[in-house]
């Protein structure tokens, strides 16, 4: 549905919020739903006894398969929605799954079976209720906690609007 243009890749180098290395400190900032994007982030939240309301995982970290301990912690009986999301894209399947997972009353895991979840942070910010916290990994630095505010939503929408493809249809899929 949407593809990240090469000239926009640099916009994702800088974290969209504060970087945390201490999970408890990160969780002290959480007031509403927590949406985790990434296997290692989800692992850290779960081992701190806070199962994210929504987790988006793909079985990889830094393009390599996650280890057995992470895989074990990420397995479980939460409802799962499997999607495909090719690298450097946001597929319609992923966007619809995010919307469904955020709207669910159950802790839900969106599993990217083919492709990657790297760009799911922006649509997660857009579908999350104001007051939520979207958490994603910043490689070799820690976890980024993005408080979902009206400004964060505006910034995420402006970035997504620069993707190649049918952004209006993408926003419609997200219900925004």
Q: Which residues are annotated as a binding site?
A: 39-41, 58, 60, 117, 140
Query: Are the C-beta atoms of 126 and 176 separated by less than 8 Å?
Result: yes
Buried b vs exposed e over 12-44: b needs ≥16 C-beta within 10 Å?
Answer: eeebbbeebeebeebbeebeebbbbbbbbbbbb
Backbone φ and ψ for 5, nearest 5 degrees, come out as -70, 150
Binding residues for GTP: 39-41, 58, 60, 117, 140
DSSP assignment letter at 98: H
């Amino acid at each position: 549905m949407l593809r990240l243009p090469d000239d926009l890749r640099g916009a994702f180098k800088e974290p969209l919020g504060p970087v945390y290395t201490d999970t408890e400190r990160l969780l002290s900032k959480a007031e509403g739903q927590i949406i985790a994007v990434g296997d290692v982030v989800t692992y850290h939240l779960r081992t701190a006894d806070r199962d994210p309301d929504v987790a988006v995982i793909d079985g990889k970290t830094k393009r390599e398969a996650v280890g057995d301990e992470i895989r074990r912690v990420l397995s479980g009986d939460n409802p799962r929605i499997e999607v495909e999301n090719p690298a450097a894209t946001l597929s319609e399947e992923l966007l619809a799954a995010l919307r469904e997972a955020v709207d669910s009353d159950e802790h839900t895991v969106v599993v990217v079976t083919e492709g990657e979840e790297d760009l799911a942070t922006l649509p997660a910010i857009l579908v999350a209720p104001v007051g939520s916290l979207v958490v994603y990994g910043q490689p070799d630095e820690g976890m980024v906690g993005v408080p979902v505010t009206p400004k964060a939503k505006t910034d995420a929408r402006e970035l997504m609007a620069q993707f190649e493809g049918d952004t209006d249809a993408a926003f419609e899929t997200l219900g925004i």
